[in-house]
């Protein structure tokens, strides 16, 4: 008896062209970053601590060495032009994910740096370009134009990667028309949950490592920590003790954890938040706006679902007690959090079942910084965290540029036998 043919995606059966050439270019690009590390690290520490800059370099090298696997898996088509809004933090890692790796399958990558880090971004670009294969270096261009001037470039592109505020993303998306594939890479509160089965000392190490990455100036830093009441006192006391011994140092020092913030707006936002919530400050709470310093601060807020933290680009720790995980589910189902669901770190809380909490992807017994992989989709299902334009609207889901490009061109083809 004959069996009907089953349609399959083209990407199941075809292989990515020139994989060996891409492998060689990716490995040489990784070597270029490593050989230039003594020049790159001083540039990166203009806006990042030495430890986070070193981490950024190693993540970039890892993503480049994984790029051939990524391309073989996703089979992206050759794109004519990619336009990129480079973020104001993680310059090297973002340059790698949205510049170096796409240059393996794009004819041209046009990058507009954030005005706040323009000089540093250009310096990093120049330092890397002179070490790349000439054909790779020629593909990646950085341009100093306003957002308004960049929009026509985006309109003539195959794809656009936007990193920034959702309101600005909607404006750009509407102005450039329907043709380009549009990816929004945003941010979220990335709550960290300390459950009843967590060792308090281990939980505090995870919280400190995650919250103090680049002195809190990263979109993956947790803006709220939910702590089970059984662990609340121990966690608060240990965090208080740890934060009391932190001292301010230069970004270029290898052991510095606490530094002046890079952006005036981040220091002002932290100062305003701490003033509004002064009754809940357990330790810290001081700010020096002239020096852009924010004292490492610990707050314990009331139990409940009403706290929706702003993006705290600073060493501010917000703890909310909980007892029943249903409270966490209710918090995550609120309209604010459904829009910005990114990641949820669940430490020792087995009652949080499933793959998501609201629209946030659950990472078990680890933090997003532990689990993040530049060759895998990034983000959650909140439209403000990570989303792609489909039929004129943004659809929230974890994103990887090569995968989205491959899916866009995939078609139904012959039988799977």
For residues 48-70, average pLDDT: 97
Residue 15's pLDDT is what?
A: 64
The chain-wide mean pLDDT, for the chain, equals 92
12: pLDDT strictly greater than 50:
no
Q: DSSP per residue over 191-212, as a string?
A: -EEE-TTS-HHHHHHHHHHHHT
Residue range 164-216, pLDDT digits in tens: 888 899 999 999 999 999 999 999 999 999 999 999 999 999 999 999 999 99
Number of H helices, E strands in the chain: 15, 19
Nearest residue to 136 via CA among 108, 113, 158: 108
pTM for this entry: 0.92
Residue 5's pLDDT is what?
A: 44
277: pLDDT strictly greater than 50:
yes
For residues 270-284, average pLDDT: 97
The band of 391, judged by pLDDT with boundaries at 50, 70 and 90, is confident
309: pLDDT strictly greater than 90:
yes
139: pLDDT strictly greater than 70:
yes
Residue 410's pLDDT is what?
A: 56
- Strands 225-228 and 316-322 turn out to be parallel
Structural contact between residues 299 and 282, judged by C-beta atoms closer than 8 angstroms: yes
Min mean pLDDT across 10-14, 189-193, 299-303, 312-316 is at: 10-14
For residues 92-118, average pLDDT: 96
9: pLDDT strictly greater than 70:
no
The band of 18, judged by pLDDT with boundaries at 50, 70 and 90, is confident
Interior angle at CA 171, CA 170 and CA 174, nearest 5 = 80
Residue range 234-273, pLDDT digits in tens: 999 999 999 999 999 999 999 999 999 999 999 999 999 9
368: pLDDT strictly greater than 60:
yes
Nearest residue to 407 via CA among 37, 24, 40, 76: 76
**HEC string of 7-29?**
EEEHHHCCCCCCHHHHHHHHHHH
Residue 7's pLDDT is what?
A: 43
């Amino acid at each position: 008896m004959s069996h009907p043919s089953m349609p399959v995606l083209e990407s199941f059966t075809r292989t990515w062209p020139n994989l060996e050439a891409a492998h060689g270019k990716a490995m040489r690009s990784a070597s270029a970053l490593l050989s230039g590390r003594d020049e790159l690290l001083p540039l990166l520490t203009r806006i990042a601590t030495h430890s986070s800059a070193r981490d950024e370099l190693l993540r970039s090298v890892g993503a480049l060495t994984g790029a051939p696997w990524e391309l073989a898996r996703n089979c992206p088509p050759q794109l004519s032009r990619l336009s990129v809004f480079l973020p104001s933090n993680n310059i090297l890692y973002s340059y790698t994910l949205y510049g170096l790796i796409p240059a393996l399958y794009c004819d041209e990558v046009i990058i507009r740096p954030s005005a706040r880090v323009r000089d540093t971004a250009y310096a990093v670009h120049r330092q890397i370009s002179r070490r790349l294969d000439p054909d790779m270096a020629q593909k990646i261009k950085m341009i100093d134009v306003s957002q308004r001037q960049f929009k026509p470039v985006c309109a003539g592109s195959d794809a656009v990667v936007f990193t920034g505020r959702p309101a600005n993303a909607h404006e750009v998306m509407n102005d450039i028309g329907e043709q380009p594939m549009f990816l929004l890479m945003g941010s979220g509160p990335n709550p960290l949950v300390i459950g009843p089965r967590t060792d308090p000392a281990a939980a505090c190490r995870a919280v400190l490592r995650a919250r103090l990455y680049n002195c809190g100036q990263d979109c993956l830093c947790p803006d709220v920590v939910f702590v089970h009441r059984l662990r609340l006192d121990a966690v608060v006391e240990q965090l208080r003790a740890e934060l009391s011994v932190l001292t301010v140092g230069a970004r270029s020092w290898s052991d510095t954890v606490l530094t002046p913030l890079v952006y005036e707006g981040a220091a002002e936002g932290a100062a305003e938040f701490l003033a509004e919530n002064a009754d809940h400050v357990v330790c810290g709470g001081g700010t020096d706006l002239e020096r852009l310093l924010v004292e490492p601060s610990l707050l314990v807020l009331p139990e409940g679902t009403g706290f929706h933290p702003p993006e705290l680009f600073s060493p501010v720790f917000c703890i909310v007690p909980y007892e029943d995980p249903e409270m966490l589910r209710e918090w995550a189902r609120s309209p604010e959090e459904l829009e910005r669901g990114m990641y949820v770190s669940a430490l020792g809380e087995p009652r949080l079942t499933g793959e998501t909490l609201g629209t946030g992807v659950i990472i078990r017994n680890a933090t997003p910084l532990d689990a993040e992989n530049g060759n895998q989709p990034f983000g959650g299902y909140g439209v403000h965290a990570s989303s792609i334009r489909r039929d004129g609207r943004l659809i929230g889901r974890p994103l990887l540029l090569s995968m989205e490009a491959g899916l866009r061109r995939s078609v139904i083809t012959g039988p799977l036998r």
